[in-house]
Amino acid sequence: MGTDNNRPRGLSAEPVLVTGLGATTPLGGDVASTWSAMLAGDGGIRSIEADWADGLPVRIAGQLAVEPSEVLDRVQARRLDRCEQIALIAAREAWADAGAPEVDGDRLAVVIGTGTGGALTMLGQDDVLEASGVRKVSPHTVPMLMANGPAAWVSIELGARAGAHTTVSACASGAEAIALGLDLIRLGRADVVVAGGAEACICPLTMAGFAQARAHSLRNDEPGRASRPFDADRDGFVIGEGAAVVVLERAGFAAARRARAHAALAGAAVTSDARHITAAAAEGQVRAMRRAVTEAGLSPLDIELVHAHATSTPLGDLVEAESVTEAVGAHPLVTATKSMTGHLFGAAGALGALAAVLALRDGAVPPTRNLERQDPAVKLDVVAGAARRGPLGAALTNAFGFGGHNASLVFTAAS
């Protein structure tokens, strides 16, 4: 492996460990059930049964396996937007998994990314206003719709006073949140950071908008086969919802409390294309991957696994495949778990990070579901059919978003 001589000046060289994991996804209501389903190649995409989907061109989505109302108390379920609810659920699991660290609140920060925040509340309360007038609008509307709500509620829950930050960079939001968490620790501003992403925006407007943009798969009659990253017959992504959160700790702090580490967050990079609002650019993706690997003190040959952004769009998957090949080579194993969950937008990068951490911890790479005929233009070793097992030392995970946002994270196996 390489050295850390290329680490930016001013940042601590002390390792940053991942000590806690939490999630609620279309595959399961927690990390264990989600991970088990991923390794089995299960599908979490199904038809939308709600009446509002009737008549829409798209009627499939990666819907939560466990409703938040089954987990939260009645008051929280009523006063929090769905995005806030699932962020809190995932954060609670991650915090418990980390052993509920005893940390001064002034040294504890929260970073939760989201693409749309409380979109369901905003659209729902606008309908109430139009139909019934101002007196029927909920007094909790603003705290429910604001994009910083998930981070704020998690910070209140944990007593985090070193900052409650929100990254809003479309589908790169969750990964960028984790990258910011790494920076906060390396800059000495926190000892522990709870970081991740949350998204809940399955509704008529988003479904219709993506369908009109011809970005969403139209396989309404076979939802389980709709999301097919890198497959020659892919026809678009499938919208999903969920949250994933990790607990990051300064290694010295974790060692002092004898915390268990799932993996280490060794490097991160965020770039922007400054080119086009929706079209992916290979150059920006390559820069993000190369910078993350360099910051981790590794060489491209050290990367053994890539968790691809791979949304299942005809152009996007091809651009990323070319970018991965240029940035790190064609040697790593590649997995694309959106084939099972759908695209969680602002939570996607955080869920990808969680999957990469678990792959390193357990020596198991989830298969890419529905990869029946790999696009011949994709020159990568994409895992398909069954999980690939064996020890892994380093993993790269990507998240790219509308607006030209690129975020890459590098994790290494816990020593």
140 is catalytic: no
- Which of the residues 165, 262, 307, 309 is marked catalytic? 309
CA angle (32 as vertex; 30, 35 as ends), nearest 5: 105
Tokens of 138: 């909920």
309 is catalytic: yes
The rounded distance, in Å, linking the Cα atoms of 210 and 115 is 14
In this structure, what DSSP letter does residue 384 have?
A: B
343 is catalytic: yes
Q: Closest Cα to residue 405, out of 345, 364, 332, 344?
A: 345
Tokens of 34: 């989600």
- Which of the residues 165, 216, 307, 343 is marked catalytic? 343
Asked whether the beta carbons of 243 and 86 are under 8 A apart, the reply is: yes
The rounded distance, in Å, linking the Cα atoms of 393 and 86 is 31
Q: Closest Cα to residue 30, out of 348, 260, 354?
A: 354
- Which of the residues 83, 171, 201, 203 is marked catalytic? 171
Tell me the residue length of the chain.
415
74: left (phi over 0), alpha (psi -120 to 50) or beta: alpha
Sign of CA dihedral 309, 314, 316, 317: positive
Catalytic residue annotation = 171, 309, 343
